[in-house]
Structure 1
Amino acid sequence: MSVDVQERNRLSAAVVGESAPDYKRKFSLPQYYYTSPELYRKEMEFLRSKLWLMAAHESQIPKNGDFKLFEIDGESIILCRDLQGDVHAFYNVCRHRGSPVCVTNEGNAKAFSCPYHSWTFMLDGTLKRPRAMDASFDPKEWNLKAAHLGNLDGLLFVCLAKGEAPSFEEFAGRIRPFISQYGLTKAKPVYVQDDLIVTNWKLPLENYRENYHISSVHQDLGRVMGAAMDHSNGESHAERMSRLGRSLPMVYDEAESLYLQQAIQFAFGKDQVSATQDGSAASSLMPTITEWSKGWTYINFNPLSHINLQDDYAIMVFFTPVSETVTKTSMVFLVNEDAVEGKDLDVKKLIDLYVVTMAEDNVVLGRHQKGIESGAYEPAPLALEEDQIVLFHDWYFNRVHGVPTA
């Protein structure tokens, strides 16, 4: 749909709010969009009710009784494996008077006992009959509230919709063939990193979608990416992937889509087999990989949830809003469950490039938020290499606010 600027701005004011300033397509957003508590609440209503959000890998709770918390926008979700081995997601809220029933970020338990009045919930969410309740009290009516949970080859996603959630199969269906190539159900985590950044949630998403800053901010990543441009290594990547039976058509959503998904197979450069500082392997092949493809797969499940897959490891990258000006960034590195440190696994080598890159991004993003909050800030034109930010903005206004953008 083509919408002229005047009509788009009228719609923006009507839907986003009368205080929302006009925004120009292919420009950075006005300050309001990175600082407004009122706008943030509207955004969270959409994210919580419409999106499947990456939360963990099931190997992070490998044993019966294991649990870990996933937190977003003040909401706390317990991911746990019950005594029969089934994985659940529950709101971390006691059904008595609302106190959290789980007060540690991760661990192992036989049950969750609220520290306030000792109401005790089993790992499948059922409530054991509490003391001193009326005879008419029925514990079965007061089990922990379940959050919507989806599992894609061990990748755990939650949706916080109050009613019916969007179809998980529709969300995961087109991505599943890419994921299934790597055998993630037989993977294990070797490194997890969480960082809190003083920045609006949209800034890390914009940063993750563009390469314009790489030469300025990421010297190591720039060097590795520069080497990756040299494909003079005989057999083409497309030919190799076809020979290996792994070639898949690209997934590339436009702004009108619900999830803005992407799944793309890329080639490494000459002599590279993995995304490490020197391009060599850091671990044994992933469980279902039999031969080095000399390439990698980038997957964007939605703007907040991503995974990069190499033949020897995978890295989950996801962003969770905490408030209008605080965002949590998370990385989970996965390898073949049989890989052994010092034998066929070098964890430091495996994580070094991404850990350095994320640290550099975190510094830049904190400064970026501070600059945007200045009275001197005003939107400016985006560079040609920031076209993916334009696509994200178009999706954002389309899906979050119902405002056509192009």
Structure 2
Amino acid sequence: MDVTSTLSLGDPLEPARKATAEMLQTRERTFSLPQPFYNDERLFQIDMQEIFHKEWLIAGMTCEIPAKGNYLTLQIGDNPIIVIRGAEGVVHAFHNVCRHRGSRLCTSDKGKVAKLVCPYHQWTYELDGRLLFAGTEMGADFDMKQYGLKPVHCKTSGGFIFISLADNPPAIDEFLAGLAHYMEPYDMENAKVAVQSVMSEKANWKLVLENNRECYHCNGSHPELLNTLLEWDDTTDPRADQAFKDHVAESAARWEAEKIPYAHAGFGLRNRIVRMPLLKGTVSMTIDGKPGCNKLMGRIKDPDLGSMRILHLPHSWNHCMGDHLINFTVWPVSAQESIVITKWLVHKDAVEGVDYDVERLRQVWDATNDQDRRLGEENQRGINSTAYQPGPYSKTYEFGVVNFIDWYSGQMLKNLGAEPAPYLKGVATE
């Protein structure tokens, strides 16, 4: 580690790192995490350093930057990032930081440029990050080759853009190959974001993910969502009845005929792809279950594709239907605040007001997101109490939460260089 990145007396977080490892090694596996994991700012900084700065994150969708010079920006903790389409369609990612005096290069969420020009002193960079112009003021011996933009690892698959700030990111190619196969029918290069929402939730990012990983709360909180969503995502779920299993079998036969991938695909606990039917008689996550967009995605002919659910830890889940897709990403802001970004995607040729109505398209998940926000914020308020202590997860209704915490615990201990937790022995968390 660069000595300038720590205080001269050592890493101020070192005691907190040791405490974090010890708490994870000794916790009860099927109980929620100890309080500091949800509300301590030191532990939040460790989350950022060991999870969000080291794992692969979904930065956006390739259709958001369709042509050379199109870019999008995002913020990962203190790190501003730019993702840009370069020559021959190649997608690059860089730290959005000028190599002169550190100013941000791009200050808009999205845009299009011929070159990347710093607004402070006009240092100019090629779309592949090379420094092209710094002015004669830097002197005749100034070597521009030494001052290109600092790159960020970047990969694309199935219309998704993945980035990692790590020097050596974890392996992801197997998942990306699977993702490309499952996303093929959607032809995501020919999609567009119809609308997006940005919601602030006063809750720790792990609480947002825990809430997403179970539907135990759905009956009491999500009437709009349950107009179409079937809670279970596997016929082996102990709560699944025969009617559900028959519905899955009928749907699978129809998908097979159209050559739509549907078999469950798991990649450790980090990534999962599963296609499940929606409630019988519904085809899309709209208030009435009818298509939200009349123009179907890619090569799809039958709107009744259920919902293909894509999980990508630490921060994303997705619902892919025949007529539109919904992408969710969670971005930590502080120990007790997160940003949830939701994007609704449709065929690029779909016409607003003709093929789809934005308000109708987003109605169900606007309501669901807000309901989840209130649940998360109340969860956070209770956890902040001196009365909080870890409580037991249901092994049936909340197994998805246990899986998430297993993954988090395993990755955190690994990235901290600590001994694995005894309770994770034999659990494939990667």
The TM-score range, normalised by the shorter chain, is: 0.7 to 0.9
Moved more, 307-316 or 217-226: 217-226
Partner residue of 1:70 out of 64, 71, 74: 74
Q: Structure 1 residues 393 and 235 mapped into 2: Cα distance closer, same or farther (>3 Å)?
A: closer
The residue that corresponds to 2:182 in the other structure is: 178
Q: Structure 1 residues 18 and 239 mapped into 2: Cα distance closer, same or farther (>3 Å)?
A: closer
AA partner of residue 278 (structure 2): F
Secondary structure of the residue aligned to 2:228 is helix
Q: Structure 1 residues 235 and 13 mapped into 2: Cα distance closer, same or farther (>3 Å)?
A: closer
The residue that corresponds to 1:157 in the other structure is: 162
1:202 Cα shift? Answer: 0.4
- Whether 1:115 aligns to 2:119 is yes
Partner residue of 1:342 out of 341, 353, 369: 353
Structure 2: runs of 5 or more not aligned: 1-15, 233-240, 415-419, 425-430
Contact kept in structure 2, 1:188 and 1:336, CA below 8 Å: yes
Per-residue Cα deviation, 1:24-69 (whole angstroms, up to 9, x for no partner): 2211212111122332233223324542211111222234332221
Contact kept in structure 2, 1:49 and 1:165, CA below 8 Å: no
1:134 Cα shift? Answer: 2.2
Structure 2 length-normalised TM: 0.83
- Whether 1:396 aligns to 2:396 is no
The residue that corresponds to 1:319 in the other structure is: 330
Contact kept in structure 2, 1:227 and 1:269, CA below 8 Å: no
AA partner of residue 184 (structure 1): M
Contact kept in structure 2, 1:274 and 1:281, CA below 8 Å: yes
Contact kept in structure 2, 1:321 and 1:328, CA below 8 Å: yes
The residue that corresponds to 1:203 in the other structure is: 207
Partner residue of 1:275 out of 261, 285, 309: 285
Q: Structure 1 residues 17 and 397 mapped into 2: Cα distance closer, same or farther (>3 Å)?
A: closer
Secondary structure of the residue aligned to 2:283 is coil
AA partner of residue 393 (structure 1): I
Query: What are the residue-to-residue correspondences of 1:242-321 with 2, within 5 Å?
Result: 242-253=256-267, 257=268, 260-283=270-293, 284-321=295-332
Counterparts of 2:85 and 2:261 in 1: how far apart (Å)? Answer: 35
Contact kept in structure 2, 1:128 and 1:139, CA below 8 Å: yes
The residue that corresponds to 2:222 in the other structure is: 218
The residue that corresponds to 2:44 in the other structure is: 40
1:378 Cα shift? Answer: 1.6
AA partner of residue 243 (structure 1): A
Q: Structure 1 residues 60 and 273 mapped into 2: Cα distance closer, same or farther (>3 Å)?
A: same
- Whether 1:166 aligns to 2:176 is no
- Superposition CA RMSD, Å: 2.6
1:226 Cα shift? Answer: 6.2
The residue that corresponds to 2:133 in the other structure is: 129
Secondary structure of the residue aligned to 2:186 is coil
Q: Structure 1 residues 79 and 13 mapped into 2: Cα distance closer, same or farther (>3 Å)?
A: closer
Structure 1: runs of 5 or more not aligned: 1-11
Moved more, 304-313 or 321-330: 321-330
Counterparts of 2:17 and 2:59 in 1: how far apart (Å)? Answer: 34
Q: Structure 1 residues 20 and 57 mapped into 2: Cα distance closer, same or farther (>3 Å)?
A: closer
Counterparts of 1:352 and 1:58 in 2: how far apart (Å)? Answer: 25
Counterparts of 2:302 and 2:223 in 1: how far apart (Å)? Answer: 30
1:14 Cα shift? Answer: 5.5
Per-residue Cα deviation, 1:132-155 (whole angstroms, up to 9, x for no partner): 112111112101111111111321
Moved more, 320-329 or 309-318: 320-329
The residue that corresponds to 1:9 in the other structure is: none
Secondary structure of the residue aligned to 2:80 is strand
The residue that corresponds to 1:241 in the other structure is: 255
Contact kept in structure 1, 2:215 and 2:231, CA below 8 Å: no
Counterparts of 1:227 and 1:324 in 2: how far apart (Å)? Answer: 30
Per-residue Cα deviation, 1:201-246 (whole angstroms, up to 9, x for no partner): 1011101100011122212113433699976879811221222222
Contact kept in structure 2, 1:13 and 1:20, CA below 8 Å: no
Counterparts of 1:141 and 1:224 in 2: how far apart (Å)? Answer: 55
Counterparts of 1:62 and 1:298 in 2: how far apart (Å)? Answer: 25
The residue that corresponds to 2:84 in the other structure is: 80
The residue that corresponds to 2:102 in the other structure is: 98
The residue that corresponds to 2:235 in the other structure is: none
- Sequence identity of aligned pairs in percent? 32
Tell me how many residue pairs correspond in the alignment: 390
Q: Structure 1 residues 380 and 287 mapped into 2: Cα distance closer, same or farther (>3 Å)?
A: same
Secondary structure of the residue aligned to 2:362 is helix
Secondary structure of the residue aligned to 1:173 is helix
Counterparts of 1:226 and 1:65 in 2: how far apart (Å)? Answer: 42
Structure 1 length-normalised TM: 0.88
Moved more, 360-369 or 225-234: 225-234
Q: Structure 1 residues 234 and 211 mapped into 2: Cα distance closer, same or farther (>3 Å)?
A: closer
Q: Structure 1 residues 137 and 347 mapped into 2: Cα distance closer, same or farther (>3 Å)?
A: same
Contact kept in structure 2, 1:15 and 1:401, CA below 8 Å: no
Contact kept in structure 2, 1:313 and 1:335, CA below 8 Å: yes
Moved more, 238-247 or 53-62: 238-247
1:178 Cα shift? Answer: 1.2
Q: Structure 1 residues 144 and 268 mapped into 2: Cα distance closer, same or farther (>3 Å)?
A: same
Secondary structure of the residue aligned to 2:273 is strand
